[in-house]
Amino acid sequence: MNPSRLIATAIALVALLLPAGAGAAELPPPASTRLVYAPGKIVPIPASIPHEAGDMVDKRIIPDLRWIAKRFPLYVTDGYSGPLPNGTHVGCDECHTRGSDHYNGLAVDVVPIEPSSHCDSDWAAITSLALWAEPVQNEPVPPFRWVGYEGDAGHGCGNHLHLSWNHAPAAQFQLAEWVEVFPVGPAEGETTPRGRRARAPKVAQGPAGGISQAKFGGLSPRGGGD
């Protein structure tokens, strides 16, 4: 294939991929949600979801996150923030407010997949995602607990979008007893280490790799926000 043909093919491929994000604004909100009582675990975010190296979340939100990332091109800048059982710290330290869902691994901060610190067209998909999760300010659609974007200090177009999932009250650095999620199809489920698809419902299944222990100590009570 000659170079110009190669470029044309690449452009055509990009055009094929774009509608997923471009049409996302019209996506209906999740039709239903459910509470996942399967044990949580802080695990690395899979490679299929663009993210900052080392970022981790509670595995129970990964199918939702994968579903979202497929439709809204995004880059995760932070997930779980806190200690791991081996004593190391993961995530952005002292970035989040007291009681943040980041301390339970049930929140993510996202920015455009094309880095941009200005509110430009690169943010269109992130803005669409924010409106999908919270069509009316301070009224997040279940399973989301808190959405930080326009109108929320330290968030918004050109800054970042915060998404939290509803969950059972949990102390800082503890896994919540349950997490509310929206069901996703098999394509969004967790993959095995060999890359095979696991069968639905993914969130109720066994360990997905990552850290070796499910629980880790912690103290403080939790409150709201980002």
Least distance (Å) between residue 92 CB and Zn ion: 9
162 near Zn ion, judged by CB under 5 A = yes
| Residues from 188 through 207 that contact Zn ion (CB under 5 A) | none
d(CA 70, CA 49): 8
Least distance (Å) between residue 202 CB and Zn ion: 24
Q: Which residues pair with 164 in a beta bridge?
A: 107, 146
Nearer to Zn ion, 109 or 134 (CB): 109
Contact flags string 94-113 toward Zn ion, x per CB under 5 A: ---------------x----
Least distance (Å) between residue 104 CB and Zn ion: 12
Residue the block writes with tokens 């800048």? 77
Q: What string of H, E and C letters represents the secondary structure of 155-180?
A: CECCCEEEEEECECCCCCCCCCCCEE
C-alpha neighbours within 13 Å on the C-beta side of residue 48: 17
58 near Zn ion, judged by CB under 5 A = no
226 near Zn ion, judged by CB under 5 A = yes
| Total residues in contact with Zn ion, by rule CB under 5 A | 3
The number of residues in the chain equals 226
- Which one of the spans 158-166, 179-187, 196-204, 217-225 is the region binding Zn ion (CB under 5 A)? 158-166
Nearer to Zn ion, 111 or 203 (CB): 111
Least distance (Å) between residue 19 CB and Zn ion: 28
Query: DSSP string of 41-76?
Result: -EEEPPTTS-B-TT-EEEGGGHHHHHHHHHHS--EE
d(CA 110, CA 126): 8
Tell me which residues touch Zn ion (CB under 5 A): 109, 162, 226
